[in-house]
Chains A and B, each alone.
Chain A
Amino acid sequence: MEQALVVAVVILAVLVLGLVAAVFALARQVGILYERIAPMGALMLDGGPAVGAPAPIFSLEALDGRRVEIGREGPRSSLLFFLSPTCPVCKKLLPVLKSTAGSEQSWLEIVLASDGARAAQEKFYRQARLEEFPYVLSAELGLAFKVSRLPYAVLLDETGRVRAKGLINSREQLESLFTAKDMGVGSVQEYLQST
């Protein structure tokens, strides 16, 4: 009798463990599926200078004293990345920005932009080790590009025209801006409408 019970328990236990493993695998697959079917490109928000239009011209002083020219002709394209010390997604993207700055440096300069209390910004700038980037504080810059949600990025080409822009939540979305510039489309919405 005891032997029969042991065998029954073992068989049931193995079956239930198998089911738990299967449910876990399914839950993981569902999670991956949610991520894969999400729109890959950066979502463009309405407002601000349109793609193809010249960007408003700014001349700003970065936190470390560098002079930053925005919207003028230059040797390289520039990526304006709007962020804030209080935005968790922005922090998640900092390593992505650092690696992008390295791999794309032949044609791209990255400028970080924010606004708000200078002391908190400087602390964030030091703690996150952002010294390689110019970091500008300007509420007017955010207003000019109609930035309403963070993190937001605008890609300007060598002539100072807006090439692509959008809300950035991942490396893929950041890279979608570069692809948009290469392909000559402004955003994922425009691409979807044209196909």
Chain B
Amino acid sequence: MIDPVYSLTISVAAGLVLLHGAWQKWQQHETFAAAMQDYELIPDVAVPSASRALIAAETAIGLALLWPRSHPWALLAGIALLAVVTAAVVLNLLRGRTAISCGCGGGSDQQISWALVMRNGLFAVFLGLAAQPWLTRELTPLDYLTCFFGALMLAGFYAVVGQLLSNQPRLDALRYR
């Protein structure tokens, strides 16, 4: 059992993160499709439709996460989506192909790494926590305030981690020259 405020805060933050990611991928669809092709996991002919399907799934789950009634299915769907994309990253890391773009946010030049896998793992753990059954209690205006600000902060921290991950290869490039 979990207090609904924790669950709602995480859901809304995750919804914002997924919608933002889907928006960026849609904006730069060609770059995203090229990144997907570089993963070399699905045949090239399937890439355009698979990339659209992934963006559509991300959008749908993102919207569902913002809607409290979809608890806990939206959270479980979010974990499933994360599992699929993280498996793709892990397979390529195991094949030793670390120099490919992760395609996380359209044109960002974040590369795949174990740190990215850890970030996604942590994201999934948060979603799992939020998917617990809710304690029944009346929500007050203060609770909604906590959800609103808490979700913005979590989404902000997610953006910071993403930025630091995309800085890392640039720093490495300087170090070994």
Contacts and interface: CB of A to CB of B under 8 A. Distances in A.
Given A23-B160, A88-B101, A17 B170 contact: no
A24 B145 contact: no
A5 interface: yes
Interface string A157-187: 0000000000000000000000000000000
A21 B145 CA distance: 19
B135 interface: no
Contacts of A127: 44
How large, as a class, is the contact surface on chain A?
20 to 34
Interface string B22-35: 00000000000010
- SS of B interface (majority): helix
Given A5-B142, A34-B174, A38-B174, A24 B149 contact: no
A34 B157 contact: no
B17 to A, nearest CB: 13
Contacts of A20: 152-153, 156-157, 160
Interface in A1-30: 2, 5-6, 9-10, 13-14, 16-17, 20-21, 23-24, 27-28, 30
Interface string B150-171: 1011001101100110110011
B163 A27 contact: yes
Given A24-B156, A31-B167, A91-B34, A13 B141 contact: no
A119 interface: no
Contact of A13 (B34, B153, B170): B153
Contact of A37 (B38, B159, B174): B174
A31 B170 contact: yes
A43 B153 CA distance: 42
- 3 cross-chain pairs, A with B, having the tightest CB-CB distances, nearest first: A13-B149, A20-B156, A34-B170
Interface of A: 2, 5-6, 9-10, 13-14, 16-17, 20-21, 23-24, 27-28, 30-31, 34-35, 37-39, 43, 88-89, 91, 127
